[in-house]
Amino acid sequence: MSASAAVAQQEISLQSFDIRPLAGAPLGAEVLGIDVGRPLSGGDFDRLHQAYLDYGLLIFRDQHLTPAQHIAFSRLWGDLLVHVLHQFQLPGHPEIFVISNIVENGRPVGLADAGKFWHSDLSYVSPPSLGAILYAQELPQEGGDTLFASQQQAYDTLPGVLQRRLEGLRAVHSYTSRYAEEPEVFKGVVRPVLSEAQLAKVESVVHPVVRHHPETGRKGLFVNANFTTHIVDLPDEESRQLLDELFEHSVRPEFIYRHRWQENDLLFWDNRSLIHLATGTPKQFRRRLHRTTIAGEAAV
């Protein structure tokens, strides 16, 4: 949200809401008593913004939003990115990407295997995204949890010798790298074939292995098992060994919060400091969520 936009909202009345850190979790906070479908005052936005920086993940309970309200709240935080898989955009609202295992009239309504591997959303673009806002539409009776891991805590707990080794290293991120995997990796889910125009939008990009958070300055790992393919200027074997070591370290249990979705949950997380993973849903249960993704800054 721009400073001018925040000032313009100063006349809007404050809402009474609580921000509660998740007990026993390494990250995240619940936001209770707010309606993000209403215009936010500058004071309300400032509280949410600081909580977002402090906790990395905000969980808004009991939200009742139209697609337009979802988009409007998302735009408070920045410009929105449109996913390359246009066939899974919400009709009439291309800013909303549908994540779902539901098939209607023989066609999937959303991407069924989204989040199968640990990742930061759209780390395969430049600049990578600031964050994402995911809204529950239809939840399964079993499964469907989402895991989040703090990459700042992961960096902080690396041995000093490894931290120094990572200084100045850069890595390649590619959206299409997993398309080359064996079919069983996706357990029967067929990913859409990308057109030439779509492929042109997801050419590989390079980011630092360790990035400074642009708002807090805190360092964090910025590689992930889904999109990071190799480290620039390292021999293949050395690159693979180092990435495997970082991937394993980055998801140690003490860095992870497991979110068990509740009806009408709205989650907003920081792609600059967290990675996340979808745990999967049994095929007999329907699941549908709507996601917006916010444009970010160059990783430095």
- Residue 174 CB contacts under 8 Å (≥ 6 apart), including other chains: 124, 202, 204, 227, 229
Model confidence at 8: pLDDT above 60: no
- Closest C-alpha to 128, from 284, 253, 300: 300
- What is the pLDDT confidence band of residue 13, given thresholds at 50, 70 and 90? confident
Structure tokens at 116: 């199968």
Q: What is the pLDDT of residue 180?
A: 59
Q: What would the pLDDT profile of 85-132 be if each residue is shown by its tens digit?
A: 989 999 999 999 999 999 999 899 999 888 889 999 999 999 999 999
- The number of domains in the chain is 1
Residue 188 predicted with pLDDT over 90: no
Q: How many CB atoms lie within 10 A of CB 132?
A: 22
Give the pLDDT of residue 186.
45
Q: What is the token pair recorded at 4?
A: 């001018």
300 part of a folded domain? no
Structure tokens at 97: 């990407």
pLDDT(184) > 60? no
Residue 208 has pLDDT above 70, yes or no: yes
Range of the structural domain that residue 271 is part of: 3-295
> If pLDDT is split at 50, 70 and 90, which confidence band does 183 have?
very low
What pLDDT band is residue 7 in, cutting at 50, 70 and 90?
Answer: very low
What is the rounded distance in angstroms from the CA atom of residue 231 to the CA atom of residue 239?
5
Q: Torsions phi, psi of 206, nearest 5? A: -120, 130
CATH number at residue 103: 3.60.130.10
Give residue 5's pLDDT.
Answer: 52
Confidence category of residue 199, pLDDT binned at 50, 70, 90: confident
Tell how strand 18-21 and strand 29-32 pair up.
antiparallel
Residue 219's alpha-carbon distances to 106, 181, 210, 222, in angstroms, are 46, 31, 7, 9
CA pair distance 76, 198, nearest whole angstrom:
28
Active site residues: 119, 121, 276, 291
pLDDT tens digits along 286-298: 999 999 999 999 9
Helix, coil or strand: residue 41: coil
pLDDT of residue 26: 98
Work out the end-to-end distance of the chain between its first and last CA atoms, rounded to an integer number of angstroms: 21
pTM above 0.75, yes or no: yes
> For residue range 248-290, what is the model confidence (pLDDT) as tens digits?
999 999 999 999 999 999 999 999 999 999 999 998 999 999 9
CA–CA separation, 163 and 221 (whole Å): 10
What pLDDT digit, counting tens, does each position of 15-60 carry? Answer: 999 999 999 999 999 999 999 999 999 999 999 999 999 999 999 9
Each residue's pLDDT tens digit, 217-236: 999 999 999 999 999 999 99
Sorting pLDDT into bands at 50, 70 and 90, what band is 6?
very low
Supply 106's token pair. 């023989």
Q: Report the C-alpha dihedral over residues 188, 251, 217, 135, rounded to 10 degrees.
A: 40
Contact (CB, 8 A) for 266 and 133: yes
